[in-house]
Structure 1
Amino acid sequence: MAEMTLTIGGRQYQIHCRDGEEAQLDHLAAIVDAKARQARQATPGLTEVRQLLFAALFLADELAEVKREAAGRQRTLDLPSGDDDAATAVEGLAKRLEKLAERLAPASTAP
């Protein structure tokens, strides 16, 4: 288990994580820190707790927007929505690929 220090909102936090996760946590901490700085600049005088609260709200808003966009794209692409529809689509594709492979395969010659 790795131990590392993250700096968010000008304050350092000691955390433990699985070995190999350090770079990802540094990246995530940088995102949270940027949002905390954005909150501090938008509303000077925030307490540390409120600064982190607003950072979390900013991130939650961005996540909600990404989810809305993804849902809109799925509807636009008319992707199968259920497991049965997806399975049917995959089976149809597999059959088409098998037929194509048969047509492309060289005819076997009898010895």
Structure 2
Amino acid sequence: MPELKISVGGREFDVACQEGEEHFLRSAAAMLDTEASVLLGQIGRIPETRMLLMSGLMLADKTAGLEDQLRSALARAKTAEAALSEAQANPTRVEVPVIPVEVTDTLAEIAARAEALADRVEESL
């Protein structure tokens, strides 16, 4: 079982962990050290047990906030998935607008005039 030396709040600790979990222990220790540094910056020197307790509580508070955000995001995702399933089950009817008769007539008249002009140009050549 590997033993690591970690630093939290400027204090060194020897901690054992399972084989292959050293990276996770270092990462957790770095997070705890960050919180301890905040405490030390605000309060100054405090007893080791109090520093570790307060740092752990600060991390737990952040974790609880992230869990709340995750629950909210999962609920929104579930709602969106339900809406998507509903939309796929009942596709929306899309209607393509019909070109009004006046527009069609006008385009036909313009085409006829263009052909007449083309005929005149052709005859004059």
Instruction: Give the TM-score taking structure 1 as reference length.
Output: 0.64
- Name stretches of at least 5 consecutive residues in structure 2 with no aligned partner: 80-125
Deviation at 1:45, TM superposition (A): 3.4
Cα displacement (A) at 1:49: 1.7
Bigger helix fraction: 2
CA distance in 2: counterparts of 1:74 and 1:2, whole angstroms: 38
- Per the TM alignment, residue 46 of structure 1 is displaced from its structure 2 partner at its CA by 2.2
Corresponding residue for 1:107? none
Find the counterpart in structure 1 of residue 27 from structure 2. Answer: 27
Match of 1:41 in 2: 41
Provide Cα deviations, 1:39-92, integer angstroms capped at 9, x if missing partner: 11121232222211211111011001001101111111226xxxxxxxxxxxxx
Determine the C-alpha separation between the residues in 1 that align with 2:52 and 2:72. Answer: 30
In our comparison, the structure showing a higher alpha carbon Rg is: 2
Indicate the SS of the match to 1:65.
helix
**Residue equivalent to 2:60:** 60
User: What does residue 3 of structure 2 align with?
Assistant: 3
Aligned twin of 1:82: none
In 2, Cα distance between equivalents of 1:12 and 1:45: 15
The 1:45/1:10 distance shift into structure 2, 3 A limit, reads: closer
Number of aligned residue pairs: give it: 80
Letter in 2 for 1:32: L
TM-score between the two structures when normalised by the length of structure 2:
0.58
For residue 46 of structure 2, give the secondary structure of its aligned residue in structure 1.
coil
Structure 1 window deviating more from structure 2 (28-37 vs 46-55): it is 46-55
Q: CA-atom RMSD, angstroms?
A: 1.7
Q: What percent identity do the matched residue pairs reach?
A: 29
